[in-house]
Amino acid sequence: MSAKGFTLIELVVVLVLLGILAVTALPRFIDLTGDARAAEMQALQASLSSAIVMAHAKSIISGSTNSVSDIKIGDTYYAIYNGYPDFIERGDGSEQGKGLAINSLVEFDTDNITFDGNFSPAVFDHTQAATPHKCRIEYFRAQNATTPAVLTAKLEDCS
C-alpha cells in the first residue's frame, strides 16, 4: 500500500521551522524604532511638565514670580523667568553662580536627545530621528507673570 501525503510529524516540523523564521525575520519588517523614539519624547514631555509645575509652585512660595530670578530646590539653584523655569542658563547651580536652565530639572538621555536653549523656543531634539526637527519638544518661556510657559511636542516623524 502506497500512501501519498505528509505525516503529522513532518507537518509539525514545518510549522516549527516557519515559527522560528517568523520570530527572527518579522522584527526586520516591522520597524518600531520610530514609535520608541516618539514614546521617549512623550516621556520627556511629561517629566518636563511635572518639573515646570513644581518649579512654578516653588517660585510662587518663594515670591520669585517677577521677571528674572532664581529658586533653590535641594542644594541647586534654577533660573526662573516670570515664575517659570527659564531655558537660559545663568550659572552653575551654586549659590554664587545661580540659575541652571530647564534642561537641568529633569534627567534625559543626552546621547539621543539634545537641548538648545539659545533661541526661543528652546528645543529638545531626538538626534537619532531621520529629521530631528520633526521629533522635538519646544519650550516657550512665560511672557509675563500671568501667562504660563508653554511646552509642545512635535512628533511628526521620529523614524
Domain assignment present for residue 90? The answer is yes
Domain assignment present for residue 146? The answer is yes
Put residue 106 in one of left, alpha, beta given phi > 0 → left and psi -120 to 50 → alpha: beta
Q: What domain range is 53 assigned to? A: 32-155
Q: pLDDT tens, position by position, for the chain (159 residues)?
A: 566 788 899 999 999 999 998 888 877 777 788 999 999 999 999 999 999 999 999 999 999 888 899 999 999 999 999 999 999 999 999 999 899 999 999 999 999 999 999 999 999 999 999 999 999 999 999 999 899 999 999 999 999
Domain assignment present for residue 1? The answer is no
22-37: per-residue pLDDT in tens? 888 877 777 788 999 9
pTM, whole model, 2 decimals? 0.81
Domain assignment present for residue 26? The answer is no
The set of cell numbers assigned to 34 is 520610530
- C-beta of residue 82 within 8 angstroms of C-beta of residue 150: no
Domain assignment present for residue 91? The answer is yes
Domain count, the chain: 1
For the residues of the chain, what is the DSSP string, one character each? ----S--HHHHHHHHHHHHHHHHHHHHHHS--HHHHHHHHHHHHHHHHHHHHHHHHHHHHHTT--SSEEEEEETTEEEEEETTEE-SS--SSSSTTT--B-GGGSS---TTTEEEE-SSSSEEEEETTSSSGGGEEEEEEPPSBTTB--EEEEEES---
Domain assignment present for residue 16? The answer is no
Domain assignment present for residue 7? The answer is no
Domain assignment present for residue 8? The answer is no
